[in-house]
Structure 1
Amino acid sequence: MTRSTFPEWIYDGSEIPDPLGFGERAVTFLKRLRHPKSRQPVQLDLWQERIVRRIYGPRHEDGTRIVKTAVLLVPRGNRKTSLAALLMALHTIGPEAMPRGEAICAAAARDQARIAYEELKGLMLAHPKVASKVAIRDSKNTISFPKLGSFCKAISADAGVQHGRTPVFVLADELHAWPKRDLWDVLRSGLPKTRGSLLVVATTAGRGQENVAWDIVEDARKVARGEIEDPSILPILFEAERDCDWTDEDIWYRVNPGLRHGYPDIEGLRQLAREGQRRIGDREAFRQLHLNIWLDHATQPFVDMAIYDEGRGPVDLADLEARQAPCWIGVDLSSNSDLTVAVACWKDGDDGYQVWPWFFCPEENLRDREDRSGVPYTTWAEQGFIIPTPGNVVDYRRVEDELRELCARFNVREIAFDPHLARNMLNNLLEDGLPAVEMRQGWITMAPAVKELERAIIGHGFRHGGHPILRWNFDNIEVVTDKAGNMAFHKGKSKDKIDGAVASAMAVARAAAGEGGFALEADWMNDEMLWA
């Protein structure tokens, strides 16, 4: 049985080790600060106090803190940023502060970074004794403690000017919204330079898995479930199950630790839930932001990505080559600077398929694409999931060479192209006796292809080996449906790619037709390109 990721230790009354009293010291200090509005001593609610004790209490035999990274996944409205500001105070003016220590509050945008900064500033100014001992420079987004030379600074995701930092504390606020990982890498690599440094990730759930937030939260989940043993990571994950009854208020109270203390407003949540029952977009926003359910990219998805992920079993290319199993290939050629893909498909049992893609992208565009999309093109290329072609446009000759190589390796029955961009390549392959065929990407041709692909995925008959780019492409799909109920792939207003999913539908359709599954009719009447 899989262990829950829920932080039961916050409520079970279990003892939190504090051999040197540093957990108690941290709590005592924080309770001496003043609330910015009431000017009364700060009140730590149970869940907040337990988190503070759990971070700062447990120690190694040499006295160093065991926890190096705290991953705080909490729904919106639960004052996680306020808690993070209190932790920043500990490292700026409190008992965890170090001489000339640098505490960093980092976020995707300057306005977001200023939220935690303003919280900390309010704490400093609310207490007369503290206010007299700190220096605030709003123009530099900096609060300093001259007595120690320590300071806190708010920065945003402009990683180009952040190299060389040696922080003792980093708050990565709303990590799910960071457009790329440059700032993360800079700050994360700077933390080990200082003994006793601490990283706090405070975020709500995001969308998609091709981002640094998903990687960090998923790693924390594995620690929480006991799949990874790493006491330096403290997972504090308040998240509902993906298939839960999102209208159940018991679940709301379980994953919103502040609700039992009066925040967020329960009536406000009820109103949002009523609106979510009428509007899909509001429902998905509620599930993501108030129940911390990590969603797929698409708002009108093709399939549930949790079902898609069940097909991540290995695809043994060497075995398929050795057996010379019949193979069908779908090719989605891009414009000159875009992502091109060839997807090979083999029958898997009576009614299943296994596929494997080969993606191509101009080598000079990789970094630029990564910056614009927030997905790791360069890492994918290093891992062999992308074949970079020389220059700043897709080298069709390299694509054609790869197709010839695939034909030499596998028992390829057909290579299906939409002729829109592939006329020359198609003719070249035909002249050499290779089985290239036309498959136009209009409704008449693609609707049955999409339907067969959907049947295979939902029926647990689509094995893809967990290829990360292919998954990203499927996650980006928006579905459009005509009056007859025929489905088509679309990427809506998103700039994200669906090319691999389109080529998969083509390959699966040709495999089904080749095995007598159904016939595909060329769509000569509708050559509208819906599959950018």
Structure 2
Amino acid sequence: MREWQKKFVRAIYEPHNWVNGRLLRRVRRAILSIARKNGKTALIAALVLVHLVGPEAERNGEIYSAANDREQAAQVFKVARQFVEADSELSEIIRIIPSTKTLVCYANGSFYRAISAEAGTKHGLNPTFVIFDELAQAKSRDLYDVLDTSMGARSEPLFVVISTQSNDPEHILSKLIDDGAGAKDPRIVCHLYEVPEDCKDVFDPRVWKKANPALGDFRSLADLKAIADKAERMPAEEPKFRNLYLNQRVAPISSLISRKEWTACAGQVEFVEKEEVYLALDMSAIVDLSALIMGSAGDETKVRPFIWKPEELLRDHSDRDFGSGNNRYGEWHKAGHLLVSPGRSIDPAVVARKIAELFNTYTVLGLAYDRWRIADLLREFDRVGLEAWEDKGNEKQGSGLRLIPWGQGFKDMAPAIDALELDVLGRNLVHPSNPVLTWAMGNAVATMDPAGNRKLDKDKARFRIDPAVALTMMCGLKSRDLNSVRPSVYEERGIIMF
């Protein structure tokens, strides 16, 4: 074993406590996050044998290595089997059952089995030791949760995760790393090997060791350099290089705003009555997310999101977008981050009432909107008594709420994206860390025309980006107004100021 491996193993197995006259291992959860090709599978296989027949073995133990698919599960079993077959002593005491990817030690009644998320229900297991390979690639947290909640009957249970990072800040692995990295809980160990996201030159070989502790040893420097050269030649390959080989929490496709920059803009957001604000609305499809973003009109762009989902589709769409059994939309709604519209579709009346409420509470300078389903919304404005007029860039045509149609092509979105980036990079934007908005910003991908103009591309985005679209439009409208001469909101409402 190499020193970095020994450091991880010692952190798990050395701390002990006396409990009822017994010396018990203190650590219950451990995470090792490193880049690919740094010997994760071999380390997993070795730890499996430590708990099957080694110093951590106990009578009637159940050891499981968990993987996301059958092929990955077979790799862990294959290496464990090779260890056994290569050692005469192990071969005498361990029976290999290839058909079920199982190793059995009859002397102590324990067994090891490689399982995958495809292998059916895991309820009823009673593991002493679980090690999860590449949790970052799990499409849902079902397998993790079943295994994690099945260890309560054991006196010294241990759950180890060895994986590269997930690009999704809401993924279970990201949550575990964030919890472990800042935890003062002595039962948790987290060793994270990553190249920092603020690294100025990710193609400098001198920084690669931070995420690849085996580099220059059994991790080939030449191979990693070839991968880096390809990523440097082809910008589309860079995010994958940074995620998988530098272990950075970045999406495989470049996001519009990096996670680091977005996180740096988080803060307390407060609005006062009659404060000047801008609104932007992306209604999207009737069964998916609809987003209304409010932003302050002052020098600082304070942001407050209002995001809706059909109430009866929270579970189904969580399964669709995040994997079976992952009720993330339901959790967001329960925590107050996501609003719901009754039924199985977004009722425009719900959105119209919220806009009317904001119009009556604040001084709304304008609402930018995508033309999709706007006719439905205007009918609801009439029903709730909200006057509105469409600003077409010429003379004022009415009173009440000023509506600005906002195209989704390069013409309108390119300056809006520029305005959003300037606000973020200049730290003029402050958002309340709403996880739905943060998730959408991580999903947002911009495409570019030959002239260098950009627009948000829903087709290239992995998941929903509607809140990000609304935020971009709001920043674009604010920037457009600041760079043009327009009547004051008081003049628009016919109010004479003395």
TM bucket (normalised to shorter chain) is: 0.7 to 0.9
Is 1:439 the counterpart of 2:405? The answer is: yes
Quickly say closer, same or farther: Cα 1:485–1:402, change in 2 above 3 A.
same
Quickly say closer, same or farther: Cα 1:255–1:418, change in 2 above 3 A.
closer
In structure 2, what is the equivalent of residue 176 of structure 1?
Answer: 136
Is 1:111 the counterpart of 2:111? The answer is: no
Return 297-306 or 361-370, whichever deviates more.
297-306
Match of 2:5 among 20, 23, 48: 48
Q: For 1:316-331, list aligned pairs within 5 A.
A: 316=270, 320=271, 322-331=272-281
Shift of 1:409: 3.4
Is 1:258 the counterpart of 2:214? The answer is: yes
Match of 1:308 among 262, 282, 287: 262
Shift of 1:128: 2.6
Return 338-347 or 245-254, whichever deviates more.
245-254
In structure 2, what is the equivalent of residue 497 of structure 1?
Answer: 464
Is residue 284–residue 372 contact of structure 2 (8 Å, CA) maintained in 1? no
In structure 2, what is the equivalent of residue 73 of structure 1?
Answer: 33
Shift of 1:343: 0.9
Matches of 2:119 and 2:433, distance apart in 1: 31
Quickly say closer, same or farther: Cα 1:493–1:481, change in 2 above 3 A.
closer
Matches of 2:278 and 2:432, distance apart in 1: 17
Matches of 1:425 and 1:256, distance apart in 2: 53
Shift of 1:212: 0.9
Is residue 366–residue 403 contact of structure 2 (8 Å, CA) maintained in 1? yes
Shift of 1:92: 1.7
Q: For 1:468-487, list aligned pairs within 5 A.
A: 468-487=435-454
Match of 1:288 among 240, 243, 248: 243
Superimposed CA distance per residue, residues 103-129 of structure 1 (whole angstroms, 9 cap, x where no aligned partner):
111122121122212211222222233
Is residue 130–residue 159 contact of structure 2 (8 Å, CA) maintained in 1? yes
In structure 1, what is the equivalent of residue 416 of structure 2?
Answer: 449
Match of 2:168 among 205, 208, 214: 208
Secondary structure at the residue paired with 2:269?
A: coil
Is 1:360 the counterpart of 2:315? The answer is: no
Gapped regions of structure 2 (runs ≥ 5):
388-400, 487-498
Shift of 1:490: 1.1
Secondary structure at the residue paired with 1:122?
A: helix
Quickly say closer, same or farther: Cα 1:325–1:167, change in 2 above 3 A.
same
Shift of 1:513: 4.4
Is residue 102–residue 167 contact of structure 1 (8 Å, CA) maintained in 2? yes
Secondary structure at the residue paired with 1:281?
A: helix
Shift of 1:158: 4.6
Q: For 1:103-182, list aligned pairs within 5 A.
A: 103-158=63-118, 161-182=121-142
Superimposed CA distance per residue, residues 254-311 of structure 1 (whole angstroms, 9 cap, x where no aligned partner):
4322235x2111221222222222112333333222221221x362332333112111
Return 370-379 or 114-123, whichever deviates more.
370-379
Is residue 65–residue 130 contact of structure 2 (8 Å, CA) maintained in 1? yes
Quickly say closer, same or farther: Cα 1:517–1:197, change in 2 above 3 A.
same
Quickly say closer, same or farther: Cα 1:151–1:248, change in 2 above 3 A.
same
In structure 2, what is the equivalent of residue 372 of structure 1?
Answer: 320
In structure 2, what is the equivalent of residue 510 of structure 1?
Answer: 477
Shift of 1:357: 0.9
Secondary structure at the residue paired with 2:149?
A: helix
In structure 2, what is the equivalent of residue 334 of structure 1?
Answer: 284
Q: For 1:191-270, list aligned pairs within 5 A.
A: 191-222=151-182, 228-244=183-199, 245-260=201-216, 262-270=217-225
Is 1:271 the counterpart of 2:237? The answer is: no
Structure 1 letter corresponding to 2:245: H
Quickly say closer, same or farther: Cα 1:511–1:85, change in 2 above 3 A.
same
Structure 1 letter corresponding to 2:483: G
Normalising by structure 2, what TM-score?
0.87
Structure 1 letter corresponding to 2:344: N
Secondary structure at the residue paired with 1:301?
A: coil
Secondary structure at the residue paired with 2:107?
A: coil
Return 155-164 or 489-498, whichever deviates more.
155-164
Shift of 1:216: 1.1
Is residue 287–residue 346 contact of structure 2 (8 Å, CA) maintained in 1? yes
Shift of 1:152: 1.4
Structure 2 letter corresponding to 1:336: I
Match of 2:348 among 396, 415, 419: 396
Is residue 169–residue 199 contact of structure 1 (8 Å, CA) maintained in 2? yes
Is residue 76–residue 204 contact of structure 1 (8 Å, CA) maintained in 2? yes
Is residue 292–residue 470 contact of structure 2 (8 Å, CA) maintained in 1? yes
Matches of 1:183 and 1:100, distance apart in 2: 22
Is residue 104–residue 152 contact of structure 1 (8 Å, CA) maintained in 2? yes
Is residue 38–residue 219 contact of structure 2 (8 Å, CA) maintained in 1? yes
Is residue 105–residue 153 contact of structure 1 (8 Å, CA) maintained in 2? yes
In structure 2, what is the equivalent of residue 463 of structure 1?
Answer: 430
Matches of 1:372 and 1:391, distance apart in 2: 18
In structure 1, what is the equivalent of residue 391 of structure 2?
Answer: none
Superimposed CA distance per residue, residues 59-106 of structure 1 (whole angstroms, 9 cap, x where no aligned partner):
113311122111111221111221111111111222212222211111
Return 274-283 or 58-67, whichever deviates more.
274-283
Matches of 1:143 and 1:69, distance apart in 2: 24
Shift of 1:508: 2.4
Matches of 2:485 and 2:449, distance apart in 1: 21
Secondary structure at the residue paired with 2:233?
A: coil
Quickly say closer, same or farther: Cα 1:257–1:486, change in 2 above 3 A.
closer
Is residue 417–residue 436 contact of structure 1 (8 Å, CA) maintained in 2? no
Is residue 102–residue 151 contact of structure 1 (8 Å, CA) maintained in 2? yes
In structure 1, what is the equivalent of residue 489 of structure 2?
Answer: none
After superposition, the CA RMSD in angstroms is 2.3
Normalising by structure 1, what TM-score?
0.81
Matches of 1:143 and 1:471, distance apart in 2: 44
Structure 2 letter corresponding to 1:48: Q
Is residue 337–residue 361 contact of structure 1 (8 Å, CA) maintained in 2? yes
Gapped regions of structure 1 (runs ≥ 5):
1-43, 223-227, 521-532
Is residue 303–residue 458 contact of structure 1 (8 Å, CA) maintained in 2? no
Quickly say closer, same or farther: Cα 1:424–1:254, change in 2 above 3 A.
closer
Structure 2 letter corresponding to 1:49: K
Structure 2 letter corresponding to 1:359: I
Give the % identical residues: 30
Matches of 1:115 and 1:468, distance apart in 2: 35
Structure 2 letter corresponding to 1:497: R
Structure 2 letter corresponding to 1:461: N
